[in-house]
Amino acid sequence: MEQAARVAVSAVLAFVVLDLVAVLLATDAYSARSDYVSSLAGRGSSVWPVEVAGLALFAVAHLALAVVLVLGRRLQVAALVVGLAGLVLGAVSVLRTGCPGGEAHCAFAGNTTSDWVTSAHGMTAGGYMQVMVVAMLVAAVSAYRVPGALRWALLAGVPLAALAAYSLDRLGGQGPTGDTGLWERIWLASNAAWILLVALATPRPDASVS
């Protein structure tokens, strides 16, 4: 369990670093404020290996946290939903949207390949958005079953889920000059923060609990 918690923390931090590297290496026309995160991983992106690796590791973080929840505190339902979120996010990293003009403004102004892979990417990304919000709320409902810092970490899922849901509402359809990328990163940061909080708050097997 302790090892799984370490994997969750390390994988989240790796995702943050790799996304930052991808943004720094992307073409000048790419905007972290207005462009989608997954455009960096798109087919046609100049930095797709970096962002795909980051998204895949972020998916691993979800799966590792699911292991922590089910083995460490026996929160099976919460673990199941978090694990499902991780699997769906893994699919998002594999089913890459088509960006024939590169990562800048992909999915805007016709700069998207209309094929089944792009459609599947949109469906899985939307599914991940919804499942992860549910995961945080389900885990919060289970908070009464655990003691100490972990209880508060699980309860933090309520405001973080609210922030994620608000961010998702704000990022919809803003276009290449809007704040799509900013709101998407706030949403992802909400998910990442929750994973870190829960993983770091999980007590060691030999720790005393009350």
Q: DSSP letter string over the chain? A: -HHHHHHHHHHHHHHHHHHHHHHHHS-TT--TTTS-SGGGGSBT-TTHHHHHHHHHHHHHHHHHHHHIIIIIS--HHHHHHHHHHHHHHHHHHHSPPB-TT-STTTTSTT-SB-SHHHHHHHHHHHHHHHHHHHHHHHHHHGGGGS-HHHHHHHHTHHHHHHHHHHHHHHHTT--TTSSHHHHHHHHHHHHHHHHHHHHHHSPPTTS---
What average pLDDT does this structure show over 122-137? 92
**pLDDT value for 56:** 97
- pLDDT at residue 29, as a whole number: 92
Q: Whole-prediction pTM value?
A: 0.90
Q: For the segment 97-120, what is each residue's pLDDT rounded down to a tens digit?
A: 999 989 998 877 677 788 899 899
> What are the domain boundaries of the chain?
2-201
List pLDDT tens digits, range 31-84: 999 899 999 999 999 999 999 999 999 999 999 999 998 875 678 899 999 999
Average predicted confidence (pLDDT) for the chain: 89
Which has more confidence, 210 or 47? 47
